[in-house]
Structure 1
């Protein structure tokens, strides 16, 4: 769908100059842009790319001499990534799911489907499910009995939503996400080796046989409004109380949230984050890629954990952490510097040992 420069600028709340009636149909990198594209050149380093492309219009940095860049129209982006968010929303048509209910969907008679919902083929919806208005559900999705989705949900291919899961408005689930699978919770009749070494920090009196008994998950999952969950991410149901994800939180691909985990509002959990059971995470927490979080701990509001951090104990609010085990980021930087100096230090010690032996 084509949009005028005027309409795009108005939607973004941005200033525009030149031929505002010029239309564009998609966004493109500057060097690859054609006459019908809006080139994205929000930094002066992309000026050379504009010269290589054939764009007539571009989104440019504040103060850019758009006419000298050979453009007929320009939109000025005061904050480039925010402008990108608005522009991408305008240009993304979303999944192509025909309105109404596909004849190959299987929907229990007791389910409630909201007005304007679009449900694709091979979708299975169980008894007592409630689907909000305007929901879009792609093929091969299953929604188990008693689950509830708010308005304007977008559930993509192959998503699995377990029984009793409650989800707010404007929820997005990418392909393959599983919400409400059983929690990973097992116990041994006698004290297990894991319990023993937790208390002794590695010392074991004896090695003995043990077998595992499942603790069944009686809770479910509760998710707030405006939450997004990435492809193949998993959120386990709670043991007794629900696992919870607060409104506005965004969860990346391949993230695992264990049973009873409580995640606050507006958090960002990046790819391959793993959070073990019964951990509580505050509001606006950012966990970068491959962060691992131990069970039964608390992470305070506004904590930021750098990539690969391993968190084994409580973290106070507003702290920035890094490393394995997690420490303050500035401390980890000093540790890294010291590690790089170890070969030189070892050589110095070896020389000192030679001198001492001669003495």
Structure 2
């Protein structure tokens, strides 16, 4: 697949200088770019890489002298990182899923398959499933009974979609994700040690035999439009009501969303985030990698939590959090500075003790 420099600039809404007819077949880092590549030299620090490679064209920062850099043409964009989204979309051919239904796919006769759908090898589509127009389902995916998949959805290899799950339009699910497994919900006939600890914050009560009884999941999972689900991410169905994920939200790989969780619109959950059951998360919330959220709490709109933050209590709207347990980021930074000063403080206290002891002996 090849594009002219002019075609790329038009797709990005960007400005071209030099030879707009240059043909480009791929994008590359400056030092690795050949004559057919578009070098991504979007900041001055990448200029040296252009001299190491053989690019004839590049995306450059505003004010760059493309002639002095030895190029035949250049594209200038106001926000380079945002331009990357358009460039990669243009050049990404996407997964190769043949049009139509592969002969090895198993599709229940009650399923409704929309026009233009592509279904790959060894896919299983259960009873009463509805698949919207132009959806694509890659090899070995499974869609269980009564699930609904929206228009232009992309379900990649080995994805498991459980019963009654609803996916909106243009949803992307990466390989190995599981949407709609049972929630992890168990109860004991008598009050459990865990319940005692939650109430007392430390006392488990008298030890005794206890067995766990399953609370079955009668709800499902409802996912809005333009949501992306990462590889090997798991989203559990609700106990009674659905687990819900709002439109535009993106989940990274290895994220776990527990039963009854509600996540708002345009949130970003990075790798290894864990959200326990019945949490409510507002809109535009960002969790960095390994953030953990305690069950049955609320996280307000526009909250940002740094990596490995553990949120145990409600987080107000707009709060920026860091640490274990979570606290305001600026408070955590100050506390960490104090922690690093502790060895010096202990040494100073020891010296003071010695001095006081000597004064006592002199009396």
Query: Which TM class, normalised by the smaller chain length?
Result: over 0.9
Distance 1:28 1:232 in 2: 29
Q: Return the alpha-carbon distance in structure 1 between the equivalents of residues 166 and 212 of structure 2.
A: 30
284-293 or 127-136: which moved more? 127-136
Shift of residue 356, structure 1, vs aligned partner: 1.9
- Could you say which residue in structure 2 is the equivalent of 1:75? 75
2:225 equivalent to 1:216: no
For the pair 1:200 / 2:200, whether they are aligned, the reply is yes
Rounded to whole Å, the distance in 2 between the matches of 1:310 and 1:119 is 41
4+ residue runs of structure 1 moved beyond 6 angstroms?
Answer: none
Whole-angstrom distance in 2 between the partners of 1:23 and 1:90: 14
Cα distance in 1, alignment partners of residues 53 and 298 from structure 2: 51
In 1, the alpha carbon distance for the partners of 2:248 and 2:81 equals 18
Cα RMSD of the aligned pairs, angstroms, is 0.6
How far 1:289 sits from its partner (Å)? Answer: 0.2
> Residue 113 of structure 2 corresponds to which residue in structure 1?
113
Could you tell me which residue of structure 1 aligns to residue 294 of structure 2? Answer: 294
C-alpha deviation, 1:331, in angstroms: 0.1
Q: 1:310-353: CA deviations, max 9, x gaps?
A: 00000000010000000000000000000000000011111111
Secondary structure of 1:342's match?
A: helix
Partner residue of 1:328? 328
C-alpha contact (below 8 Å) 2:194/2:204 kept by paired residues: no
Identify the residue that residue 227 of structure 1 maps to in structure 2.
227
Match of 1:127 in 2: 127
Partner of 2:16: 16
Normalised to the residue count of structure 2, the TM-score between the two structures is 0.98
State the shift of 1:46 in Å: 0.4
Q: For residues 151 and 60 of structure 2, what CA distance do their matches in structure 1 show?
A: 36
**Counterpart position of 2:189:** 189
Q: Which residue of 1 aligns with 2:62?
A: 62
State the 1:108 CA deviation. Answer: 0.4
Question: What secondary structure sits across from 1:39 in the alignment?
Answer: strand
Instruction: Please name the residue that 2:252 is paired with.
Output: 252
Aligned residues: 359
**Partner of residue 88, structure 2:** 88
In structure 2, runs of 5+ residues without a counterpart are none
Q: Distance in 1 between matches of 2:218 and 2:318?
A: 34
Report the secondary structure of 1:7's partner residue.
Answer: helix
- Unaligned segments of structure 1, at least 5 residues: none
- Using the TM superposition, give the Cα deviation of residue 205 of structure 1 relative to its aligned residue in structure 2, in angstroms: 3.1
Work out the CA distance in 2 between the residues paired with 1:203 and 1:229.
Answer: 39
- What do residues 279-333 of structure 1 show as CA deviations (whole Å, max 9, x unaligned)? 0000000000000000000000000000000000000000100000000000000
Residue 45 of structure 1 aligns with which residue?
A: 45
Q: For 1:76-115, what per-residue CA distance to the aligned partner results, in whole angstroms no more than 9, with x for missing partners?
A: 1211111000000000000011110000000001111111
**Equivalents in 2 of 1:30, 1:204: separation in Å?**
61
Report what 1:270 is aligned to. 270
Q: Deviations over 1:50-86 (max 9, x none)?
A: 0110001101111110111011110012111110000
Match in the other structure for 1:102: 102
The answer as to 2:293 corresponding to 1:305 is: no
| Displacement of 1:199 | 0.7
| SS of residue in 1 equivalent to 2:152 | coil
Equivalent-residue separation in structure 1 for 2:176 and 2:333 (angstroms): 38
Aligned to 2:28: 28
Query: What's the offset of the Cα at 1:355?
Result: 1.5
Alignment check: 8 A CA contact 2:129 2:148 kept: yes
8 Å Cα contact 2:193/2:205 also seen in 1: no
Tell me if the contact between 2:264 and 2:284 (Cα under 8 Å) persists in the aligned partners: yes
* TM-score (structure 1 length as normaliser): 0.99
Aligned residue for 1:352, secondary structure, equals helix
